[in-house]
Amino acid sequence: MSMWGVTDFLQSSNKCKSQCKPLGSEPLPEGIITNTSNLQMRPLWGFPKKEKVSTSLFAVAVGIKQKDIVHKMVKKFLSSGFVVMLFHYDGIVDEWKDFAWSDQVIHVSARNQTKWWFAKRFLHPDIVWDYSYIFLWDEDLGVEDFHPKKYVSIVEREGLEISQPALDTAKSEVHHQITARGRKSIVHRRTFKHGANRTSCDGHSKAPPCTGWIEMMAPVFSRAAWRCVWYMIQGDRTKNIGVVDAEYIVHYNRPTLGGTVEKNHSTVEGGNKTYSHRRGKDPRVEVRRQSYIELDIFRKRWEKAVKNDKCWADPYQ
């Protein structure tokens, strides 16, 4: 065996098995190490009931002032078989106990933190690995016409890794034309707009805000995409990112995190109406703006360094 190099091979194989174990688990025997988990709650005594395992997660940053909207959202997602997680940015948790569903959802509380702060610390890709899709939404969204199960079936069929439901332009605060609902399509991946060279969008456009872009108020990530996003890595945005027109929501644009209210107007190009809303001086706006700048810098550096991005691949296959 020594002559044929079999001994060296076996030794290197055993060494590889040890090195490939998660950090800190090297001394543990094989068969008891689990790399991933989920957010299913367990009973304090006895064995868990045999229930249908949830395949998607709905997480939302909430404040008690928006409890009326959040109540409708939570009821709809729970009834669709989702695991629901509430991030309480105002530190108020007990006042949510008035709702019958309160004990069915996961509550995480930290004052004055954004949903991205919560997501980075409590939605590690290994912890949410059991979920095919992660919905990471703001609290000011109307879901009367939205159907979570139908939405998931659409993004699966269309191959969307990152998506969002389109916005109902008759009722919503629309900040970006690409997010507006198209009534003649199920999904759209780009928008068309006439203007100067840098502001026009056509069939040849390959960059945001013309294609490969969604707004961060209601993003939906596939399992593989969330692992990439968690590490701040981009994928092929022209193919894997889109807006679902068949399933749409309403953006009320209510101020959160201590924001104040003022009058504002928004217009969707191509329409004849200007929609008037009461828009808040929302601290999230500055956070988003800074995040967009940092993401764009990171994206350019990453695309320059890696020509063949394998980000969407399943790391465990």
Q: What is the pLDDT of residues 225-260, one digit of tens each?
A: 999 898 875 566 677 788 998 988 898 877 766 565
Does residue 110 lie within any of the structural domains?
yes
Same domain assignment for residues 222 and 201 = no
With a cut of 50, list the residues of the chain below it in pLDDT. Answer: 1, 6, 9-10, 264-267, 269-279, 314-317
Same domain assignment for residues 75 and 152 = yes
Does residue 15 lie within any of the structural domains?
no
Structural domain count, the chain? 2
Same domain assignment for residues 81 and 225 = yes
Same domain assignment for residues 176 and 113 = no
Same domain assignment for residues 58 and 192 = no
Same domain assignment for residues 173 and 229 = no
Tokens of 174: 């629309």
Does residue 87 lie within any of the structural domains?
yes
At 62, which CATH number? 3.90.550.10
Report phi then psi at 278, rounded to 5. Answer: -95, 105
The Cα 23–Cα 150 span in angstroms is 40
C-alpha distance from residue 86 to each of 57, 73, 252, 285 (Å): 11, 11, 19, 21
Sign of CA dihedral 175, 176, 179, 182: positive
- Give the pLDDT confidence score for residue 239 in this predicted structure: 78
Same domain assignment for residues 61 and 152 = yes
Same domain assignment for residues 75 and 204 = no
Does residue 46 lie within any of the structural domains?
no
CA 33 to centroid of chain Cα atoms: 28
Does residue 107 lie within any of the structural domains?
yes
Same domain assignment for residues 203 and 79 = no
Same domain assignment for residues 62 and 173 = no
- The residue range of the domain holding 202 is 167-213
Does residue 132 lie within any of the structural domains?
yes
Does residue 109 lie within any of the structural domains?
yes
- Give the pLDDT confidence score for residue 165 in this predicted structure: 94
Same domain assignment for residues 72 and 134 = yes
Does residue 4 lie within any of the structural domains?
no
Cβ proximity of 277 and 266 under 8 Å:
yes
Same domain assignment for residues 147 and 225 = yes
